[in-house]
Structure formats: structure tokens, C-alpha cells
Amino acid sequence: MIVGEQKPLDEIKGLIGDAENVLVMGCGTCVTVCFAGGAREAATVATSLRMSTKLDGAPKQITEATVQRQCEWEYLEEVSAAVEGADAVVSLGCGVGVQAIAEKFTDAWVVPGLNTSFMGIPVEQGVWEERCAACGECVLGITAGICPIARCSKSLLNGPCGGSEDGHCEVDPETPCAWQLIHDRLNHMDRLEVLMNPQPPKNWKASRDGGPRRIVRDDLRRAAEQEE
Amino acid sequence: MKRVQELLAEIGLEPERVEMFNMSAAMAATFVEAATEMNQRIENLGPNPLRVPQTAGKGA
């Protein structure tokens, strides 16, 4: 899932500025399950803004709505009237959700209520860890299902580095060394020979280094065209 | 409870306005102690500023 963290209330208030009618919009997918921007959090942020702006002596009209997915325009249709009637929209979706709202509603002033943190998993109640860096060319098939791009601080492909100590990373002693994990798992699977094949330099063009990415699926595009 | 207190502080209210006391139904003395403490605390803090206009309106 995409994991996010709510911005401090003061920052959100600064972003909405002097807008009178504010819509707080939650998202029912990733940020709901990481307790950062679902319907419950939208209600909390809306209530907090109501109380805080009243205490400031300049109460605002705060409404709230949550859609199943902010990152697909179809789901945003149902809140069109609410968005168009607001002076500002606080999106509690990830950065994709914020941009989807901005693209769908050209006249809407939309601001982020979350910081989008990473793609990861909950490892225990209340703790999330990064697992995928969306590098564009997945290497998990040769690293025992443990990603060295996301989980090694140096994103090494032929690790570990000299900073690996007692199975932990020199950058943060609480972070397990990804290459130690990979070695241990390959050893457990009796497949250590995988490590005998050094990996060539990675094609980072498939990652962010190649600029904004785009996927075009002609099979789906043609199917859509035929339907029309 | 800690989260609620943090929220209140963010909003601009005193976080000590809310607190949870754990006790069993048989602990009358502890209940009285907690209620007295909260009553004293709220009296010191004064009315909830978000409710002041309504209270004044009712009294007028």
C-alpha cells in the first residue's frame, strides 16, 4: 500500500489560507488502511479545523467527503458538486490523489493534507516499513523476494557494503541490512548459488532517472476504442 | 487518550481537559479522587473557549 502521514494541523491551516468554504476529502483505499486519510481521519481533520479556526476567531465552513479512490477520475464524479462549491479542498489522499483532483477539477484549489511517505507494509500494529521503490525493473526474482533497492540504504545490487554490522545498517542501527536478509533467506532456501552471479549496473532509466514514467497498453486502449 | 490529547493541543485547547482514569466499579474512593481532581483542573482552566458564546447567550 501507499503509506502516508498526516501533516500538522497548522501546516494544513496555512495551506488553506483565507479560504472560507473548505472540503476535507478522504480516500477509501491505501490511506484508509494506514489510518492516515480515510473517512475517519477526514472527520477528525474536519472537526479539528472547525474547532481551531473558531478558536482563532475566524471560523470556516468545513465539510468532509470520502471517495473510494481519489486516484481515478471516475470516483471523483460523485463529489463534483462538493469540490466545485469549495474555496479549497484538503486532500487526505496520497500525492496521486491530490493531482487527480487538480486535473479533474481545473478550477479547484487543492492542497495536500498528507505527506506521502512510501510504498510499504504494516509490520506490526502502528508500524509501517518501506518495501518497494517502484524502480521500474523488479529484481526480487534474484534477491530472494527482498528488495535491495528499497531496503538497502545504498540500493546496492551486489551487497552488502562495509557498513553492514551484526545484520544491521550503518545508516540506522534499527534498520536490518537488506543484504544480510537476502543472504540469510537464500541460505535458508539452500539457494546461495544465486549470489554467484554478479549483477550488472541497473538501468535506472526505468526508475525516476528517466523522467516521469508512462505505461501504454494498446490492448486495453483498443478495447476501449471499440466500446466507443 | 494520548492521541486525543495531542489533537486537542494541535487545535489549541489544553490537552489536560481530557484524561482517562482506570479503576474498577468497587473503587469508590479512587473515583471520587479522580472526579475531584478533574473538577479542580477544569475550574482552574476555565470554560471551554469554544462554548463560551453559547453559555453567555443562555445566561443573557
| 3-class DSSP state of A27 | strand
Backbone angles phi, psi at A132, to 5 degrees: -135, 135
Give the C-alpha distances (Å, rounded to integers) separating B5 from A41, A102, B16, B19, B47. Answer: 16, 34, 7, 8, 17
**Is residue A152 one of the residues assigned to a domain?**
yes
Assign A222 a pLDDT band (cuts: 50, 70, 90). Answer: confident
HSE-CB of A147 using CA atoms within 13 angstroms = 15
pLDDT (0 to 100) of residue A167: 96
- Across the beta sheet with A127-132, the strand order is A2-6, A114-124, A127-132
A51 lies within 8 A of chain B by CB: yes
For the whole model, what pTM was predicted? 0.89
The whole domain housing A177 covers 134-210
- How many Cβ atoms sit within 10 Å of the Cβ of residue A176? 18
What's the gap in Å between the CA of A70 and the closest CA on chain B? 25
CA gap A53, B15 in Å, rounded: 17
Q: A54 contacts in B (CB within 8 Å)?
A: 50
**Is residue A85 one of the residues assigned to a domain?**
yes
Cα dihedral across residues A170, A174, A178, A184: positive or negative: positive
**Is residue A227 one of the residues assigned to a domain?**
no
Q: B7 contacts in A (CB within 8 Å)?
A: 44, 48
HSE-CB of A31 using CA atoms within 13 angstroms = 33
Nearest alpha-carbon partner for A28 in A63, A70, A64? A70
Summarised one tens digit per residue, pLDDT across range A57-105 is 999 999 999 999 999 999 999 999 999 999 999 999 999 999 999 999 9
Domain match, A88 and A16 both: yes
pLDDT (0 to 100) of residue A225: 72
Summarised one tens digit per residue, pLDDT across range B5-60 is 999 999 999 999 999 999 999 999 999 999 999 999 999 999 999 986 655 544 44
Domain match, A96 and A175 both: no
- Which residue shows C-alpha cell 540469510? A184
Domain match, A93 and A7 both: yes
Q: B12 contacts in A (CB within 8 Å)?
A: 51-52, 55-56
Q: Which helix (H) or strand (E) holds A22?
A: strand A21-27
What's the gap in Å between the CA of B11 and the closest CA on chain A? 5
CB contact under 8 A, B13 and A8: no
pLDDT (0 to 100) of residue A2: 97
Domain boundaries in chain B?
A: 2-59
**Is residue A215 one of the residues assigned to a domain?**
no
Cα dihedral: B9, A49, A121, A216 (round 10): -150
pLDDT (0 to 100) of residue B33: 97
Domain match, A59 and A34 both: yes
Chain B positions with Cβ closer than 8 Å to A: 7, 10-13, 49-50
Of A87, A118, A149, the residue at which a domain comes to its end is A118
Q: Picking from A108-122, A169-183, B44-58, which range would have the lowest pLDDT averaged per residue? A: B44-58
pLDDT (0 to 100) of residue B51: 86
- Arithmetic mean of pLDDT, A173-177: 95
pLDDT (0 to 100) of residue B60: 42
Domain match, A6 and A108 both: yes
CA gap B25, B35 in Å, rounded: 14
pLDDT (0 to 100) of residue B52: 66
**Is residue A221 one of the residues assigned to a domain?**
no
Q: B50 contacts in A (CB within 8 Å)?
A: 51, 54-55
Nearest chain B residue (CA) to A11: B10
Domain match, A13 and A88 both: yes
A5 lies within 8 A of chain B by CB: no
A58 lies within 8 A of chain B by CB: no
Residues pairing with A90 in the sheet: A24, A111
Of A118, A147, A181, the residue at which a domain comes to its end is A118
pLDDT (0 to 100) of residue A36: 98
Domain match, A114 and A30 both: yes
Cβ contact A39:A32 at 8 Å: yes
A10 lies within 8 A of chain B by CB: yes
- How many Cβ atoms sit within 10 Å of the Cβ of residue A12? 24
Domain match, A151 and A113 both: no
Q: B13 contacts in A (CB within 8 Å)?
A: 51, 55
CA gap A77, A48 in Å, rounded: 27
Helix, strand counts (H, E) of chain A? 9, 7
Q: A9 contacts in B (CB within 8 Å)?
A: 10-11
CA gap A34, A172 in Å, rounded: 23
pLDDT at A12 over 70: yes
Domain match, A91 and A155 both: no
Cα dihedral across residues A27, A29, A33, A36: positive or negative: negative
**Is residue A127 one of the residues assigned to a domain?**
no
| 3-class DSSP state of A191 | coil
**Is residue A223 one of the residues assigned to a domain?**
no
Domain match, A144 and A111 both: no
CB contact under 8 A, B13 and A10: no
- Number of structural domains chain A divides into: 2
CATH of the domain at A74: 3.40.50.2300
Task: Indicate the average pLDDT of chain A.
Answer: 96
pLDDT (0 to 100) of residue B54: 53
pLDDT (0 to 100) of residue B59: 46
A8 lies within 8 A of chain B by CB: yes
Domain match, A26 and A73 both: yes
pLDDT at A31 over 50: yes
- Arithmetic mean of pLDDT, A199-215: 93
Of A66, A90, A118, the residue at which a domain comes to its end is A118
Domain match, A30 and A66 both: yes
CA gap B8, A87 in Å, rounded: 26
